[in-house]
Structure 1
């Protein structure tokens, strides 16, 4: 009841590899033309038992909604993948799961680390605007400082007040002649305007001035926004050119990188796939309602013309010591961190660039040289193979099926490394320690910090297996009813009664309708693989050293109550699976045994004691781990995540509404406004988060306090950075 929770993902620390025990350091793989003495070759039988429902979706057989979409075009329903009447689990999926775990437990290099070379963006606080001035680009490298006035454009509901006085609303970058005066809060405001070239005379009254300028229109992209900006010069005023702190090409690059970051966080469906209430298509610059997903996008997000710095463009400039240090598309903008994630990862953890620099996971599972490296050899096949995976039950027994259009699954957010408080470590040498709580966000991605490591998903411990994974029998939305101390996080809430997040009469849950939420942000499923379903497969190994085989055996013999994660929907609790070795179907022989066999060509291979070999190699790996404090930290982190914590629910960060009784945990918000937690976590005070905010993702040590829900701010927060548009629900993930 305290509001404490576990974020669905955490990180297994990845330490720089220079100090590892000798057998785990980089080196070339063994030759494939012989079996070495003391190394093991053979087959390990494995049983995989499903603990929580497993999502095996057949993407090739997806179908649209039965009613043709009903305004939800792009939402698809996925059946379970079946082969020969049984659930089909590809061997590649199992191998991928094992490789990720093997990389972690041996502290190997990352197998893949692409797309992290660009600097990430973050939203500046409102105080940053104090150092901004409006500028007009007169020529390449020539910036004139303008003044600005507010131009009333919308009513309190964000609806345009134009046409007004026979005029249409001014367009972005349109040249105007206007009357301005000093208004409320000492702001200059536009009284009236005419288009450039118009013959109409502007009659001045007391206190009013005639000015010339350019409209700066970003659209109704903020809750409560009523005004746009007008950049102007006084009549007869000579433009003042600003001094540049950096060469013009450097300012252009900073601008272009920032625009790329703005656009990189949105896809085409978010910008152009929105629908009005009547089902018709809505433009990206159009406001279609209140709240996330309804407000307009700023022009620099979707209009190419406004993103090019050319003669006649207007934007904001950051001044330091009266020199322009950077250019921005809005007054309270996003900005770029000085370093990229790639620069914070130790070179020893990056994917191997040469054949003689392979880490343990590369030597066992295989390696491909990074694209464009041009090295030879450029690949290594590896010495481990996963055989076909066979389900032991027929589909009628193994698959839970859902009628109609199936079960709508909760939104699965994309990785958001921009959330530096969750992804960054105190330093590269201390990946197990998060950044300090309360660190100003502009100080997150800085030189000297490190990355937390490899993302891992908590096992959702403490769930009631009989009640949690069904719809329940009550009249309420099943996502709004607790099962023990947990909500059904895997299912998407039904539609909210309205955008205000009103409660039911008992004020214990959100008021939702009977309508399911199915759109482009989530998917529906026709079924899942039931808990207790079993699969069998074999792992063929060739010429593995004792410690290499031992690491694999350790992963296949986790303590009771510990689980690997497999398949889709892991943040929602799906895909906890148990791996166990089938000793009766395990055959392992040493290089010496194979040598003796081939010398005689008549004596069969002896049947060794598989259980004894497995235990001996496992102990060899455990001794190796115990010799390194870093490897012990990694091992304990892996066990903690695989075990889960039954005392804490697992869900994405969210706020609790003011009307909710103190003894009731916060239910999922049917509006999906999880971004409010992150907004509240960054609530500033004198340039840094207020006391108790600015929380980093806790480490896995016992001294780290869990995350907690915050009291909701129903006003919704600002969106002037153009970021919290139709994907507002997803940006927090």
Structure 2
């Protein structure tokens, strides 16, 4: 099988602690507004913006539904004003501020919603370390034994006489069965008291979560001898354990929408209950009660759960199921260095705050509570009218690919080894639980790769024939920006030639994706002005560097950037810049004219000043390298979200976009265990843009990973079969 390297659509430009930055980039108050400082610059910079890849300027106020498609799908028209595509000045300012924050290693302007620890799913190897317990009171935990309790047939239907409730107290007979070298135990619930005669009878509780897994046949029975049921000791304060439990339950609830839990159609006009199984596969199985039922979510007397014990056999944490989610040790906000957090007050502003503006964090009662900034973006005018600048599609629009949502719980992509080295990703193959922990750091600012190496003409054109354009290679690339059409046959996803997916004519339009009525075509130009007021040489130099990146480098603007949209080129066309001393002389003489200035020399000198500052700082040099890498792109690697290769696809054919989505399979494969660790070649972290790590690869469904010598290990058919089913599929709705 061919090795398929790829670039994840987003990566990170590192954000280093600001304590040792050169003086002009350190924290401090902005200059006073009562005068123009003698050596600072004011004036206007005229900029031309050239569209390199289609630009999505969408109007969210005029969306409509398509003529065909699921409820919740929206079609977005192009935003037009006075017959021309409209580029909002706020969009340009946002693009420039993000880039300015990165290149000057400023504080984050916004960093909200990251105060709680994230959750992750434990693998099956975590289960043997847990013990079944029952809560007998506040801080009182009794240890039990747990054995399988047969409840369902192979179709997930209840067996006769087995309609047991969770936590129901029952008597049972334990039957021990030998299977080779292993010993399995099951529970039989006798229908009459006579069947207890001469057998080992125990009392306990039914632990019932419902038909949440495919082919699930067993629940569990918690039992134990009352005389030997001494309460377990706690390793932590009981309230801390309860707080962790509540956070874990919240993570379960937050992982699912109300639509997933309470609005599942059964196919006969009825809506399924959360605990009802309606079919096979994720979303069709029953949801575990601790996700939706308040009675199962509270940690109270009588609760049955599982406990993790430390080496002294004291309880550290409690879990609602045997293969649970878990909560990381620290929240993302705790990994962000204090010098990078949003400025807490007027005197702690970083360069981006001083130039673009600042608002005090919510809840801060201070004066002044905001600062307007010293940069303003004027209206952006398009040189072409809408008839020339916009390519339009049908009234139903062009269905775009599903955009991935941020997944910071995938810490291998978001977390750095330490706060002082944000340019170094966490080590490959480390245990998932060790990713978000004290001492780590965050990678920095999220940026999107420029999609280099595309055939600029054919890639953005749609073939005239009836074939699915997402399944056709164009100069070695697929049209990743489109959503593939629906499969013609779910049970046979590939075409007969095994070269692509066999899709039909039906477009996929649902709540997961959006359609567009048009885009701004490449080559279109906009012009706008930047007014600057009392900026110093460093600020002007950093801004000038962003406005004139080297040839072949592009800023990113607008919607759909992960899909390749919105690469734009900025160039300074003209400028009128004067120092405060020039204005002082002008107002003293009232001559009516400011002195002529050589704007190119002014901007070049400011850029050289900023270049010297960057060269004096190892951190700033790394930042600049990574910015240049992402704005240039990598011509020999495609850019797309992670995916797993269909096993029977032709060996020399790159994996095309999958109509079924299934991106989760790559992340599942990335955590694939081998013994007590992660399989060799898996557990990959997101590589640094300019690092020496190999690129991410499309995993092969039965690939056992490469050994240290670089060869491919032999196949294990049992494991590959399990992986083809997908671990998430087998876990069901737990």
* TM-based fold match above 0.5: yes
State the distance in 2 between where 1:189 and 1:117 align: 44
Q: Contact 1:330–1:720 at 8 Å: present in 2 too? A: no
State the distance in 1 between where 2:665 and 2:479 align: 21
Q: Contact 1:333–1:721 at 8 Å: present in 2 too? A: no
Q: Deviations over 1:498-536 (max 9, x none)?
A: 555631101111222322222222222222222222222
Match of 2:45, SS? strand
1:161 equivalent to 2:157? Answer yes
State the distance in 2 between where 1:705 and 1:561 align: 24
Q: Contact 1:332–1:721 at 8 Å: present in 2 too? A: no
Q: Contact 1:423–1:452 at 8 Å: present in 2 too? A: yes
Stretches of structure 2 lacking an aligned partner (at least 5 in a row): 702-722
Q: How much is the aligned-residue C-alpha RMSD, in angstroms?
A: 2.3
Residue 191 of structure 1 and its aligned partner are, at CA, apart by 2.8
Q: Contact 1:332–1:720 at 8 Å: present in 2 too? A: no
Q: Deviations over 1:629-662 (max 9, x none)?
A: 2111111110100000110000111111211122
Q: Contact 1:291–1:716 at 8 Å: present in 2 too? A: no
State the distance in 1 between where 2:197 and 2:138 align: 39
> Who is 2:711 aligned against?
none
Q: Deviations over 1:552-607 (max 9, x none)?
A: 11100011111111111111111111111121xx2111111111111122331233
1:141 equivalent to 2:132? Answer no
Q: Contact 2:15–2:422 at 8 Å: present in 1 too? A: yes
Q: 1:182 aligns with which of 158, 172, 176?
A: 176
1:477 equivalent to 2:483? Answer no
State the distance in 2 between where 1:55 and 1:273 align: 33
> Who is 2:8 aligned against?
7
State the distance in 1 between where 2:270 and 2:352 align: 52
Q: 2:587 aligns with which of 598, 603, 606?
A: 598
Within 5 Å, which residues of 2 pair with 1:423-434? 423-434=414-425
Within 5 Å, which residues of 2 pair with 1:73-84? 73-84=71-82
Q: Contact 1:81–1:87 at 8 Å: present in 2 too? A: yes
> Who is 2:445 aligned against?
454
1:439 equivalent to 2:430? Answer yes
> Who is 1:570 aligned against?
561
> Who is 2:707 aligned against?
none
Within 5 Å, which residues of 2 pair with 1:309-458? 309-320=299-310, 321-458=312-449
Q: Deviations over 1:231-272 (max 9, x none)?
A: 2346x7664422222222111011011112222333333433
Give the 3 Å change call, closer, same or farther, for CA 634–278 of structure 1 in structure 2.
Answer: farther
Match of 1:677, SS? helix
State the distance in 1 between where 2:677 and 2:444 align: 26
Residue 5 of structure 1 and its aligned partner are, at CA, apart by 0.5
Residue 360 of structure 1 and its aligned partner are, at CA, apart by 0.5
TM-score of the pair, normalised by structure 2: 0.92
Q: 2:624 aligns with which of 605, 618, 635?
A: 635
Give the 3 Å change call, closer, same or farther, for CA 29–663 of structure 1 in structure 2.
Answer: same
State the distance in 2 between where 1:51 and 1:170 align: 64
1:625 equivalent to 2:614? Answer yes
State the distance in 2 between where 1:210 and 1:675 align: 45
> Who is 2:648 aligned against?
659
Residue 385 of structure 1 and its aligned partner are, at CA, apart by 0.6
1:552 equivalent to 2:543? Answer yes
> Who is 2:727 aligned against?
717
| Equivalent residues, number | 708
1:305 equivalent to 2:298? Answer no
Within 5 Å, which residues of 2 pair with 1:92-171? 92-156=90-154, 159-162=155-158, 164-165=159-160, 167=161, 169-171=163-165
TM-score of the pair, normalised by structure 1: 0.92
Within 5 Å, which residues of 2 pair with 1:287-298? 287-298=277-288
> Who is 1:528 aligned against?
519
State the distance in 1 between where 2:671 and 2:198 align: 41
Match of 2:606, SS? helix
> Who is 1:730 aligned against?
none
Q: Contact 1:148–1:188 at 8 Å: present in 2 too? A: no
Q: Contact 2:99–2:546 at 8 Å: present in 1 too? A: yes
1:52 equivalent to 2:48? Answer no
State the distance in 2 between where 1:514 and 1:265 align: 33
Q: Deviations over 1:415-460 (max 9, x none)?
A: 1111111111122121111122121212111222211111100000
Q: Contact 2:80–2:86 at 8 Å: present in 1 too? A: yes
State the distance in 1 between where 2:651 and 2:104 align: 45
Q: Contact 2:66–2:396 at 8 Å: present in 1 too? A: yes
> Who is 1:272 aligned against?
262
Give the 3 Å change call, closer, same or farther, for CA 666–278 of structure 1 in structure 2.
Answer: farther
Residue 470 of structure 1 and its aligned partner are, at CA, apart by 2.9
State the distance in 2 between where 1:359 and 1:153 align: 62
Q: Contact 1:290–1:499 at 8 Å: present in 2 too? A: no
State the distance in 1 between where 2:569 and 2:270 align: 48
Q: Contact 2:305–2:318 at 8 Å: present in 1 too? A: yes
